[in-house]
Amino acid sequence: MTPLNETDAPLSVMADLAGVGWLGVAINIALIISFFSCSLACINAGARIAYSLARHRFYPSSWGEAHRRNETPHVAVTLSCVSVFLVIAVMSLSGIADLDILGYLASIATYGLLFVYILVSIAAPVYLSQLGRLRQHHIVMSVLAVLFMMIPVIGSVYPIPSFPYNIFPYIFSVYLAIGAGLFWSLRRRSPQIIEEMERDLEAIHNRLSE
């Protein structure tokens, strides 16, 4: 009687309807492990980015401290965990359903992934050209990658989705604009920081090339 999109465990419902309720339990256990792994991946990625930016003075220098024994960015990891918890806790206490929280945050995060993938697909042939290794099939793969990734990008704004999914692309655009503005301001105010970042990236490239 309850639509699948309104239940917290749609796969369990489907398993019960199919007469294999035990399979629904197994699926839910696997989902819990998967969600936990995804949470760890997001926390680790966010912490590593915050750690690197802190070392370049984007964030407070304490965020860029590494653990003396484990050599891990423990301060950034802790802050990342707290941030994730607070965002989800506030949304949950506001009465937003668990699946809606997942859908809202995952949608905004997906825009970030698509944006980065598109930029990488454009930058890759430029990078290969600078190395003198660009071939025609590289350009073809790059163009195809951008075209395929534009499908979900366009689909997120047309046809216009229901609220609040219809405003998420614009929230992400504002987020990007703020980040670009801060970067531009930093570049004008402290160009040496940008130069340090470029040198670090070049050092990584040289190390990997070896």
Region 45-56 average pLDDT? 88
Last residue in a domain, options 95, 126, 145: 95
Structure tokens at 103: 């859908």
Helix, strand, coil: what percent of the chain each, to 5?
A: 80, 0, 20
Say whether both 78 and 10 belong to one domain.
yes
Termini Cα distance of the chain: 62
**The pLDDT of residue 11:** 83
Give the chain's length: 210
Are both 8 and 82 inside the same structural domain? yes
Confidence check: pLDDT of 207 > 90: no
Last residue of a domain, one of 95, 127, 150: 95
Taking only the tens place, the pLDDT of each residue in 71-125 is: 889 999 999 999 999 999 999 999 998 889 989 999 999 999 999 999 999 999 9
Could you list the residue range(s) of the whole structural domain that residue 11 is in? 1-95
pTM of the model: 0.75
Which tens digit of pLDDT belongs to each residue from 148-169?
999 999 998 888 888 999 999 9
The answer to whether the CB of 179 falls within 8 A of the CB of 49 is no
Contacts of 62 (CB under 8 A, 6+ apart): 54, 75
- Indicate if 10 and 91 belong to the same structural domain: yes
Note whether 122 and 140 are same-domain residues.
yes
Q: Does 130 lie in the same domain as 68?
A: no
Same structural domain, 9 and 83: yes
Give the pLDDT score at 55. 84
Quick one: 137 and 172 in the same domain? no
Number of domains making up the chain: 3
What integer best gives the mean pLDDT of the chain? 89
Q: What is the pLDDT of residue 7?
A: 79
Better pLDDT: 50 or 194: 50
Q: Are residues 20 and 50 in the same domain?
A: yes
